[in-house]
């Protein structure tokens, strides 16, 4: 296994690391050695997770060796080795406790953690002690507790059985925690649960035991950012390393962990639950007969008094009055206040920081009592009390509140009071809805929102975390990201992508096929013309993009964004809310592979699980279409208050983000994350299509990830988009064939055309269809023979050898002659004798080279021994030729060859036919070459020497850079308005690429008229 020395640390990597990987690992080690925080961005597909694990564990391995040497009073190690270890560990770790730190590796979801664990298993560091922290909901194997659907109820049911020692699985943890099988291999959550069922121990508590002496601990990062969850799982941060992978959501998670929402319905539920407990206790107290006494003895006696319940109920009633008395505007827009307004509301009910401990203990006892004594799984089990308990935990998160902390809460929090809307059945609430007028009986929603993500990050620093590393593929711009977290990050990195330029196509489509401006602003969103144009844009793009296609929309129903157009052209599968998004994605991918010519179109929304978490590698995702800028709802109260908070903070600190800058960043970060779904590794390729003219602004481009900026091109017309995407995938499928284990890249989607277009829909443009060479078309009136000739391939301006396997040495000369084109003739200065060309009569019509269809399945040419004749099963360069060669010439040449060989090898009749076919192909090649040379000489004779030099240069430029516009600009300067020269210029269209012929013909016609 290759080893690389980075900052004095020897890192073992599964393969020779690339430059971007070496740079990334160097920055990780720099953070660890200096004990400083870092923000590291490296695009998806650069091996970020593998680099993160190898570099951090290599440093930890060195650190453990250094601490082991320090424990020995008289070290037998040489002084030079001790100095080398000390230098590799870093100066910030010289005077710390004599215990190596732990690495706490966190990611957003458990599925992402499973992927990281899989990467760890590939390395030589898999010998280290590893543990995974999960929830009871994932890891409980108790037959009764695991059936509980409510997570809070499951927690209390588990705690009761653990406390009473009645859980058999928990009781086996101490006996089996030293089992060698637990450390034999790296176990993720699924593996630990399987082993727990097999060996009858609790996986949840076993993972907590394994965590004690682990070198690296995996957990979701909400376990770190939520103080309550962090305490419940016993996560120790002091002196340890904290790594946030996929950290683009850390800012939002920090705010969410410190925010809470409480409604009048929740408060009414609290009152009802307390009342139910009071009635239950009163019934038990009044029971006098023996049967009742025996029945009651089977239930756990409460460890709280009736007076406590009376006091708590009175407290809730006072709080209800205080909330109902909050004045609200008549228009229903809600009222906003500073963060300390929440303290005022609670104080009206005599809920103060001094009484936090008493109230919390009583609430926990009540919730536990309701959970244990519930006789039905459908009965309420303290859900309202649990929400109120969470509110107390968040509002009074500090054990003691100083004046400075109160001021910080006042600035960083906002309280929004609004009308409680009744829950809609069978659907989600619309964030763009118009508020309803306030009535006297309307409930209230108290939103306690944190707008300072630094609250969560600062708590990690306060808990003693030695080093915090944030990394993701989409953190740009780094300065604004760091400023929002309010924690210093001295080490920053913005890595380029590992892929090359020919592996990605990125463009901004400003107009649809009908010329309609694509702008998904609120004003245009409901315009039927915009929706129709966007739908036709997606349909046209879907026809030329092979394999999987991801369509990411802003918000709203798919029908708004052209799904109806797609459904009329392709099969569609709709599976909503019946299974996880990951499972739905797998099902669609599996169905798309049943018909190999098809590729699935997967529609998703920005900031969703699909657009931010799923992997569309290789043929599963060849392109992503972003249908608009995903700005947050402008009138949403939380968005408005966030912008207000940022403006206030900027005024106070004299620097930082403005509200509008944050609003723009929200859109760009969502786009960056969706874009990262396509290019997943160094050999992957794909297209990124941004269907909104606002993407073309320089300001927005500057907010995109650095690796994509150089590739973006603005397109004001739709035709060039189709042409360039088609060319891109042709080239990419040749240079980057599908990796082993993947299905062969499908040519394109099979699209069925109806006899007539749906009313109100625009037809597909001609240039959008004729430029497609990789898809098959099903039509009821299309014969099989016509379908074979319908699709076109690369023009003779490009060398045909690029489309086939490398020729053998024996046939290299023949292949070279077959590939002679107008470019190679110009480059080699091939001269045709004047007597071979008769200018008095018009030259023979040039063959339509573009009608030659390349065989989609590339095969090697097999040679017959001693003859060099292609095998019967082999196919040459072309499959169909529109102009067959002269029969007499072909037979004659074929017969001559047979006569030459008959005396030596006596060929069979079959071999003679093969030689005849080979001779016919050779004559056809010569005829094409002669016609091409004739055209070159005709141009050379018709124009001046200077114009011919310009002509030659323009053609070479067109070949190398596909600069069709430049070619059109120079043509009028070469050919005059003389009819003969105009006819000569028109003949040049036979040498152009298919997508440029129609435009060139129109250009010549316009030139002739003027």
In CATH, what number is assigned to the domain containing residue 412? 1.10.275
Is residue 757 a contact partner of residue 763, using CB atoms and an 8 Å limit? yes
- pLDDT per residue as tens digits for the range 551-600: 888 765 544 445 555 554 444 444 444 445 555 555 655 555 545 455 67
Helix (H, G, I), strand (E, B) or coil at 65: helix
> What domain range includes position 448?
276-287+299-421+440-452
Helix (H, G, I), strand (E, B) or coil at 373: coil
Same domain, 578 and 697: yes
At residue 564, the pLDDT reads: 54
Same domain, 714 and 568: yes
In a domain, 878, yes or no: yes
In a domain, 49, yes or no: yes
Put the strands of the sheet holding 467-472 in their side by side order.
130-132, 216-220, 103-107, 241-245, 467-472, 38-41, 491-494
DSSP letter at 507? Answer: E
Same domain, 907 and 989: yes
Put the strands of the sheet holding 712-715 in their side by side order.
601-605, 549-553, 623-626, 686-690, 504-509, 712-715
In a domain, 148, yes or no: no
Whether the model pTM is above 0.75: no
In a domain, 508, yes or no: yes
- What CATH number has the domain bearing residue 30? 3.40.50.300
Tokens matching residue 917 = 């076919």
Which uninterrupted H or E stretch holds 241? strand 241-245
User: Which of 230, 645, 678 lies closest to 453 in space, CA to CA?
Assistant: 645
Same domain, 24 and 90: yes
Same domain, 728 and 854: no
Distance CA 572, CA 274 (A): 51
Binding residue positions: 140, 158, 167, 202
Distance CA 825, CA 935 (A): 11
Helices (H), 861-908: 887-905
Q: Which residue has the tokens 């002669």?
A: 930
Tokens matching residue 509 = 């489509």
Q: Please list the helix, strand and coil fractions of the chain in percent, rounded to the nearest 5, in that order.
A: 50, 10, 40
In a domain, 791, yes or no: no
> What's CA 583's distance to the chain center, in Å?
16
Same domain, 838 and 735: no
Give bridge partners of residue 106 from the DSSP assignment: 219, 244
Beta strands 38-41; 216-220: pairing state: unpaired
Helix (H, G, I), strand (E, B) or coil at 495: coil
At residue 330, the pLDDT reads: 84
Helices (H), 241-399: 250-257, 264-286, 290-297, 306-324, 341-348, 356-372, 383-395
Q: Which string of DSSP letters, residue by residue, matches 11-67?
A: EE-SSPPPHHHHHHHHHHHHHHHHT--EEEE--TTS-HHHHHHHHHHHHHHHHHHHH
Same domain, 96 and 20: yes
At residue 492, the pLDDT reads: 93
Helix (H, G, I), strand (E, B) or coil at 80: helix
At residue 894, the pLDDT reads: 39
In a domain, 695, yes or no: yes
Distance CA 176, CA 199 (A): 9
Distance CA 191, CA 115 (A): 14
Question: How many Cα atoms are found within 13 Å in the side-chain-facing hemisphere of 936?
Answer: 24
Beta carbons within 8 Å of 70's beta carbon, 6+ residues apart: 98
Helix (H, G, I), strand (E, B) or coil at 375: coil
- pLDDT per residue as tens digits for the range 28-79: 999 999 999 999 999 877 889 999 999 999 999 988 887 777 666 545 556 6
Residue spans of beta strands (DSSP E) within 102-148: 103-107, 130-132
Number of CB atoms found within 10 A of residue 748's CB: 25
Tokens matching residue 547 = 């394999």
Is residue 539 a contact partner of residue 623, using CB atoms and an 8 Å limit? no
- pLDDT per residue as tens digits for the range 727-760: 999 988 888 765 444 545 555 544 333 333 333 3
Put the strands of the sheet holding 335-338 in their side by side order.
260-263, 444-450, 413-419, 335-338
Q: Which residues of the chain have pLDDT under 70?
A: 70-88, 90-98, 286-301, 374-380, 399-401, 423-441, 555-599, 608-617, 737-916, 1008-1010
Is residue 420 a contact partner of residue 264, using CB atoms and an 8 Å limit? yes
Same domain, 479 and 506: no
Q: How many domains does the chain have?
A: 4
At residue 921, the pLDDT reads: 74
Same domain, 224 and 324: no
Beta strands 444-450; 413-419: pairing state: antiparallel
Same domain, 812 and 869: yes
Same domain, 555 and 651: yes
Distance CA 577, CA 881 (A): 54
User: Which of 390, 369, 381 lies closest to 159 in space, CA to CA?
Assistant: 369
Beta carbons within 8 Å of 639's beta carbon, 6+ residues apart: 632, 633, 663
In a domain, 790, yes or no: no
In a domain, 269, yes or no: no
Helix (H, G, I), strand (E, B) or coil at 157: helix
At residue 82, the pLDDT reads: 62
Is residue 867 a contact partner of residue 915, using CB atoms and an 8 Å limit? yes
Distance CA 979, CA 1008 (A): 8
Beta carbons within 8 Å of 631's beta carbon, 6+ residues apart: 554, 663, 664, 666, 667
Rg (CA), the chain: 36
Same domain, 765 and 839: no
Give bridge partners of residue 417 from the DSSP assignment: 335, 446
Give the C-alpha distances (Å, rounded to integers) separating 389 from 262, 386, 414, 815: 11, 5, 20, 80
DSSP letter at 646? Answer: H
Binding residue positions for [4Fe-4S] cluster: 140, 158, 167, 202
Beta carbons within 8 Å of 315's beta carbon, 6+ residues apart: 349, 350, 351, 359
Distance CA 709, CA 701 (A): 7
């Amino acid at each position: 296994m290759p080893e690389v020395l980075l900052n004095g640390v020897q890192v073992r990597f599964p393969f020779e690391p690339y430059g971007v990987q070496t740079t990334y690992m160097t920055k990780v080690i720099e953070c660890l050695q200096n004990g400083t925080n870092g923000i590291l961005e490296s695009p998806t597909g650069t091996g970020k997770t593998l680099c993160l694990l190898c570099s951090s564990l290599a440093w930890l391995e060195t650190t453990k060796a250094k601490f082991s040497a320090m424990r020995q009073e008289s070290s037998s190690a040489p002084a030079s080795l001790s100095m080398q270890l000390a230098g590799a560990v870093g100066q910030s770790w010289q005077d710390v406790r004599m215990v190596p730190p732990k690495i706490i590796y966190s990611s957003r979801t458990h599925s992402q953690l499973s992927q990281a664990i899989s990467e760890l298993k590939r390395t030589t560091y898999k010998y280290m002690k590893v543990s995974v922290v999960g929830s009871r909901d994932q890891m409980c194997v108790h037959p009764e507790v695991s059936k509980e659907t409510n997570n809070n109820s499951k927690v209390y049911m588990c705690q009761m059985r653990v406390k009473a020692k009645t859980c058999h699985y928990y009781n086996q943890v101490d006996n089996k925690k030293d089992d060698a099988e637990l450390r034999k291999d790296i176990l993720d959550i699924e593996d630990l649960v399987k082993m727990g069922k097999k060996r009858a121990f609790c996986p949840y508590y076993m993972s907590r035991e394994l965590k004690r002496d682990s070198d690296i601990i995996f957990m979701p990062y909400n376990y770190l950012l939520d103080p309550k969850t962090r305490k419940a799982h016993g996560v120790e941060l002091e002196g340890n390393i904290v790594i946030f992978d996929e950290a683009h959501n850390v800012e939002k998670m920090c705010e969410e962990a410190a925010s809470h929402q409480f409604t009048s319905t929740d408060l009414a539920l609290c009152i009802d639950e307390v009342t139910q407990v009071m009635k239950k206790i009163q019934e038990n107290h009044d029971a006098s007969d023996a049967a009742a006494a025996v029945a009651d003895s089977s239930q756990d006696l409460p460890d709280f008094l009736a007076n406590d319940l009376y006091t708590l109920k009175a407290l809730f009633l006072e709080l209800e009055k205080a909330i109902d008395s909050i004045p609200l505007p008549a228009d229903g827009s809600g009222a906003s206040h500073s963060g300390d307004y929440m303290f005022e509301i609670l104080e009206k009910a005599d809920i103060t920081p001094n009484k936090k401990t008493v109230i919390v203990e009583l609430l926990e006892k009540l919730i536990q009592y309701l959970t244990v004594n519930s006789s039905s799984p459908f009965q309420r089990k303290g859900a309202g009390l649990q929400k109120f308990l969470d509110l107390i935990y968040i509002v009074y998160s500090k054990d003691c509140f100083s004046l400075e902390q109160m001021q910080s809460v006042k600035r960083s929090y906002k309280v929004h009071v609004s009308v409680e809307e009744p829950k809609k059945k069978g659907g989600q609430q619309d964030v763009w809805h118009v508020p309803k007028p306030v009535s006297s009986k309307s409930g209230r929603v108290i939103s306690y929102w944190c707008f300072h993500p630094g609250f969560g990050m600062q708590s990690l620093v306060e808990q003693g975390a030695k080093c915090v590393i944030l990394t993701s593929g989409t953190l740009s711009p780094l300065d604004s990201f760091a400023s929002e977290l309010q924690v210093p990050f001295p080490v920053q990195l913005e890595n380029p992508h590992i892929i090359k330029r020919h592996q990605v196509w990125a463009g901004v489509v400003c107009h649809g096929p009908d010329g309609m401006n694509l702008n998904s602003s609120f004003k245009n969103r409901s315009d039927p013309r915009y929706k129709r144009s966007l739908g036709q844009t997606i349909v046209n793009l879907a026809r030329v993009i092979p394999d999987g296609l991801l369509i990411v929309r802003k918000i709203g129903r798919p029908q708004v964004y052209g799904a109806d157009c797609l459904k009329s052209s392709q099969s569609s599968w709709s599976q909503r809310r019946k299974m996880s998004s990951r499972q739905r994605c797998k099902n669609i991918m599996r169905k798309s592979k049943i018909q190999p010519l098809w590729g699935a179109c997967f529609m998703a929304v920005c900031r969703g699980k699909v657009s931010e978490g799923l992997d569309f590698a290789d043929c599963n995702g060849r392109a992503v279409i972003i249908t608009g800028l995903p700005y947050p709802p402008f009138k949403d109260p939380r968005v408005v208050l966030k912008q207000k908070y940022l403006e206030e903070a900027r005024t106070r600190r004299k620097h930082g983000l403005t509200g509008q800058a944050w609003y723009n960043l929200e859109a760009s970060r969502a786009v960056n994350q969706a874009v990262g779904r396509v290019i997943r590794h160094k050999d992957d390729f794909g297209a990124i299509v941004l269907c909104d003219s606002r993407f073309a602004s320089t300001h927005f481009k500057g907010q995109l990830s650095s690796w994509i900026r150089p590739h973006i091109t603005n397109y004001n017309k739709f035709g060039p988009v189709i042409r360039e995407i088609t060319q891109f995938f042709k080239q990419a499928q040749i240079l980057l064939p599908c990796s082993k284990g993947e299905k062969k890249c499908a040519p394109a989607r099979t699209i069925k055309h109806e006899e007539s277009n749906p009313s109100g829909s625009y037809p597909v443009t001609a240039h959008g269809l004729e430029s497609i060479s990789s898809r098959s078309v099903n039509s009821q009136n299309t014969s099989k023979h016509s379908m074979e000739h319908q699709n076109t391939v690369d023009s003779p301006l490009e060398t045909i050898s690029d489309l086939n396997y490398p020729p053998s040495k024996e046939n290299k000369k023949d292949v070279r002659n077959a590939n002679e084109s107008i470019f190679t003739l110009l480059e080699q200065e091939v001269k045709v004798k004047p007597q071979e060309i008769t200018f008095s009569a018009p030259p023979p019509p040039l063959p339509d080279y573009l009608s030659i269809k390349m065989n989609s399945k590339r095969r090697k040419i097999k040679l017959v021994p001693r003859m060099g004749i292609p095998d019967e099963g082999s196919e040459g360069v072309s499959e169909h030729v529109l102009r067959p060669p002269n029969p007499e010439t072909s037979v004659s040449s074929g017969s001559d060859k047979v006569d030459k060989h008959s005396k030596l090898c006596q060929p069979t009749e079959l071999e003679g036919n093969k030689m005849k076919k080979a001779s016919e192909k050779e004559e056809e090649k010569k005829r094409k070459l002669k016609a091409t040379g004739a055209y070159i000489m005709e141009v050379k004779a018709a124009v001046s020497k200077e114009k011919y030099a310009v002509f030659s240069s323009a053609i070479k430029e067109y070949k190398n850079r596909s600069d069709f516009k430049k070619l059109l600009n120079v043509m009028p300067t070469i050919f005059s308005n003389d009819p003969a020269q105009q006819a000569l210029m028109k003949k040049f269209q036979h040498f152009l690429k298919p997508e440029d012929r129609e435009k060139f013909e129109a250009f010549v016609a316009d030139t002739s008229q003027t």
